[in-house]
Amino acid sequence: MALLRYARIVWRTAFAVANNIYCIPAYVVWMMALRLVRPVLAPLYWRIEGFMFHWLLAMVSMWAWTAGYEIVESGDEPAACGTRRTLVLANHQSTADVPILMAAWNPRPGVLPNLMWIMDHVFKFTNFGIVSVLHQDFFIRAVSKLSAVMFL
């Protein structure tokens, strides 16, 4: 039984690593190639980018599925907002939350392609950073009062 559990852990880890190795570069190559037509065909570019971004995040949502998590949601239904712009604030505790959030939003049409992240600038330098830059997510520098005083 323990051997089966460890084999599953190795398989899931290899699956996540393989996803990062082939999905992110594929997205980046296609978006860089299509970037040439963006000034002329911006709506088409953003539609293709949204489609590819959705599939990229669907891969992330599969990590929650392969872990056997069942997603239970509470609160208002985001679809009730219709076509209006909506700000969803999640009590995001760690990077482990990301697959859960993606699994919850993946089946909703039009959510993932239009999802914008606000994240610390340090994430620009991760494997997903180039995707976030191309998707035009927001990067912030979180500065505490203590660090602001130290740099004065």
Dump pLDDT digits (tens) for 78-99.
666 666 677 777 777 777 788 8
DSSP one-letter code for 88: -
Residues of the chain with pLDDT under 70: 78-84, 144-152
27 token code pair: 């997205």
> Which residues pair with residue 120 across a beta bridge?
140
Confidence (pTM): 0.78
d(CA 27, CA 10): 25
pLDDT in the model for residue 146? 57
pLDDT 10s digits, 57-80: 888 888 888 878 787 777 777 666
Q: What is the chain's length?
A: 152
Query: What residue ranges do the domains of the chain occupy?
Result: 2-69+86-150
Query: HSE of 70 in the Cβ direction (CA atoms, 13 Å)?
Result: 1
pLDDT in the model for residue 16? 85
pLDDT in the model for residue 148? 52
Q: Tell me the percentage of the chain whose pLDDT exceeds 90.
A: 19
d(CA 91, CA 119): 14
Hey, which bits of the chain come out as E strands?
118-120, 138-140
